[in-house]
Amino acid sequence: MKQKIVLVGMSGGVDSSVAALLLKKQGYEVIGAFMKNFSETKNEITGECKWVEERKSAQKIAALLNIKFITLDFEKEYKKYVVDPMFRDYKKGLTPNPDILCNKIIKFPLLWKKAKKLGADCIATGHYAKIRKIKSGYQLLAGKDKNKDQSYFLYQLSQTDLSHTLFPVGNLTKTEVRAIAKKNRLPNWNKKGTSGICFIGKVDMKSFLQQKIKEKEGKVLDPAGKQIGTHPSIAYFTIGQRVGQRLGFKIEKHLEGRWYIAEKKKNNIIVIAPEKHPLLKKKKIFIKSLHLINPREKLPKQNLKARIRHLSPLVSGKIKKQKGKYIFTFSKSLEQIAEGQSIVLYHKDQVIGGGEMSL
C-alpha cells in the first residue's frame, strides 16, 4: 500500500510541531510547510522580522523529526485578501475578524493548492478542533480542550476543505500536547502560545490602524444624545471598549465610574455609556452571509447556542429567517456585540456555521 503524504502547516509553535510528529508516527510521509504571510512585525529586542524567528523554530523541529521542510510565501495574497479588507472594514467603523478570513482564503486553500502540486493526499494543521465524517459529508467539531478550542476561527471552512484536512491535536488538551513534545525532546515543548492577529501577532491596535487610517476627529455623545467630548477616529475603537484619555478621548466633564463605547454611528459619532447601562446590552442581531458547514444538514431547532468571540461563553438562542435575513435572538442580553465580528453557532460540540454580526 502506497504511503500517504501529508503537508503540515508548521508555525514554529508546539501545536503544529506535535501535529507533524503524530502524523509521522501514524505512518504518513510528512512535509512541513512554513507560511510567510506577513513580514512587517519585528522583534522589539533584536529588530529581526518575527517570521524569520518562527521559521527557524519550525525548520529546527522538521530537522529533528527528519521530515522535508519548505517555505511558502503568501505575503501578496495575505495583504490583498486579509490585511487590505481589514483596514477597509475598520475605516467603515466595523470590527473585522482577520483570523477567520485568513483561514478561509489563505491558510487552508493555498496550503491545499501546494499540497496537490507536491502529490500530497491531505493537509494538516495544529488547530484544536475535530472533523467527523458522516453520510451527508463532514462535520466540524470543537476541540477536546475547551480552553483552547479554535473551532470559532474555522466556521468558514467548506465541505471541500474538511474532506482533505486533518487536525491531529484536536483530541488532545494543551497539557497533553506539551507532554508529548517534552517526551519526544522537542525544544519548543514549553514555548508560549501566539496571540493577536493571525500571522501578524500581538500589536497595539490603534497604532497599527494609524499606519493606514488617518485621524478624523468625531463627536462623543452620552446616552441622552448630548455631546460631551471628541475622539480621534471611529475606526480605532470597538464596541465595549473602555473609554479613557490614553485612547485619545477628550471628555469635557468628569465621568463617574467606568464608561464604555456603546454604539458607533454614521458621521464618525461614538456613543458612550456607564457600566451596566441598557445601551451596552443587545439581545438580537442580524447574521450577514450565513455560512453553514454542512448545507445538507438542517439547522437544529433545539439546543442551539452561539459564541460572539473566541472562547466567550456559549449562549443559547433561536435563529429565524425573516424577509431573507437571518436573525438570532439570545436567551439573555449580551454586552460587547460589535458589528463586523462573527457569531458562530453550535449544537452540542458541533459547529453548525456562522456569519458576520450586524445590528
Q: Is there a catalytic annotation at residue 122?
A: no
Closest CA to 141 of 314, 344, 351, 298: 351
Q: What is the full DSSP assignment across 121-189?
A: SEEE---SEEEEEETTEEEEEE-S-TTT--GGGGTT--HHHHHTEE-TTTTS-HHHHHHHHHHTT-TTT
Place of cell 519550525: 58
Residues 267 and 175: their CA atoms lie apart, in Å, by 49
Q: What is the full DSSP assignment across 183-208?
A: HTT-TTTTPPPP-SBTTTBS--HHHH
Query: Which amino acid, 253?
Result: K
Q: Which of 198, 209, 337, 352 is catalytic?
A: 198
Task: DSSP letter for 336, please.
Answer: -
Residues 170 and 275: their CA atoms lie apart, in Å, by 38
Q: Are 343 and 326 in contact (CB under 8 A)?
A: no
Q: Which of 10, 18, 102, 352 is catalytic?
A: 102
Sequence-distant (≥ 6) Cβ neighbours of residue 102 within 8 angstroms: 37, 78, 82, 198, 199
- CA 97 distance to own-chain centroid: 6
Q: Are 229 and 249 in contact (CB under 8 A)?
A: yes
Place of cell 436567551: 331
Q: What is the full DSSP assignment across 202-248?
A: S--HHHHHHTTS----EEEE-TTS-EEEEES-GGG--TTPBP-GGGT
Task: DSSP letter for 278, please.
Answer: G
Place of cell 519548505: 70
Which residues is 142 bridged to in the sheet? 129
Q: Is there a catalytic annotation at residue 49?
A: no
Contacts 24+ apart (CB under 8 A), 81-84: 81/105, 81/106, 82/106, 82/198, 83/38, 83/200
Active-site positions? 102, 198
